[in-house]
Amino acid sequence: MLLRRGLTSARMVRMDPTPNPRTFLFTPEFDSLKFPTPLAFEKTLHPHPDSAVSKILALPGVERLLLFSPHSASVSLSSEKFADESFKSKVAGILADNNSNSPQVPTEARIGSAVEEAIQEVLDFRVRPSIQADGGDVELVCYYPDSKTALLRMKGACEGCPSSEQTLRNSITETLKYFLPNDILRVDCTEEETGPLRHIHNGEAIAPDDKADLVLNTPFVSLFAAKPVDSRMKERVSFSSHLSIPRTKITPDLMVQLKCGQCGAIRALEAIDSLLLTQPQKKEKAAVVICPACVVVCSVVD
């Protein structure tokens, strides 16, 4: 769909759907220099210094904005009902008329390890182009060398997208493992810098020896049954995933949201500090049962 600012405007912006039904991708039909890194913006109570960003965030229903260039962006809504022709035309017009080439955003200098630089290079050249084509983005949050785990953050159309867990599992994870086989064993994902810590469980079958060790050495807790975990519940658990949580993030207020990628069940885990940091066993690890066959193994990392 081509959207015009007006009959006198020589610049047009195309609006396309993305895999996320609440996010729309706006792309210019004219040359527009891309930013080296997409810029993410959230709706706040205060206007943003960049007028185009402020105008888009002020539109009804807009929750966040991922800006790829002065004239291209993915825009996420709180509900599909706001995605009417008026919304589409207004966003296209704002982007078409945007004259700001350098939105004011805070920047942080980051010096990473050699492995982090290698992960970033794989993401930049092998992963991000295809994700950005669908209105999303991915960034490296941190790397845990002890467990060889990369923690990534999904942005734009990937946030809350029904298919983002498959994108992460089938594409990003396998790509990183392929190019960095000695450094990557697992990839975890979080969607937001603030708010709940979200984990999508795509369970892998538990080998008999691993299950025996898990049952013997890891405290269990259940989020789906209103009764204590018993031997029968442990026996039924067949698929596991892992969630590594930085020690600095574990506070009494931290909410952890666990979603089963198979059945879609969503469980909220509260008081994660008590579960991981004050156990009598001092394991700093716990097995959280989220549905009859699935368990998320949560552990503390430094």
Backbone angles phi, psi at 150, to 5 degrees: -105, 125
Separation between Cα atoms, residue 155 and residue 139, nearest integer Å = 8
Q: Which helix (H) or strand (E) holds 22?
A: none
Separation between Cα atoms, residue 61 and residue 232, nearest integer Å = 47
Separation between Cα atoms, residue 243 and residue 258, nearest integer Å = 10
Note whether 218 and 297 are within 8 A (CB): yes
Residue-wise pLDDT for 147-198, tens only, equals 888 888 888 777 766 556 566 667 888 899 999 999 998 888 765 555 567 7
Give me the residues paired with residue 66 across strands: 40, 74
- In this prediction, residue 162 carries a pLDDT of 56
Start-to-end CA span in the chain (Å): 48
- In this prediction, residue 275 carries a pLDDT of 85
Q: Which residue has the higher pLDDT, 130 or 165?
A: 130
Separation between Cα atoms, residue 235 and residue 264, nearest integer Å = 22
The answer on pLDDT for 94 being more than 90 is yes
- In this prediction, residue 274 carries a pLDDT of 84
The alpha helices in 46-193, defined as continuous H runs, are 51-57, 85-96, 114-122, 128-133, 164-167, 174-179
Position 289 confidence tier, pLDDT thresholds 50, 70, 90: very high
Q: Name the nearest CA neighbour of 167 among 137, 204, 122, 124.
A: 137
Most confident among 12-21, 66-75, 102-111 (mean pLDDT): 66-75
Instruction: Report the range of poorest mean pLDDT among 183-192, 193-202, 248-257, 264-273.
Output: 193-202
Position 92 confidence tier, pLDDT thresholds 50, 70, 90: very high
Position 137 confidence tier, pLDDT thresholds 50, 70, 90: confident
Separation between Cα atoms, residue 118 and residue 31, nearest integer Å = 31
Query: Domains, the chain, ranges and CATH?
Result: 2-96 (3.30.1370.70), 114-194 (3.30.300.130), 198-301 (no CATH)
Instruction: Report the range of poorest mean pLDDT among 66-80, 163-177, 261-275.
Output: 163-177
* Residue 300: Cβ within 10 Å count: 18
pTM tops 0.85: no
Separation between Cα atoms, residue 230 and residue 68, nearest integer Å = 51
> What is the overall mean pLDDT for the chain?
81
- In this prediction, residue 102 carries a pLDDT of 59
Mean pLDDT of 15-41: 86
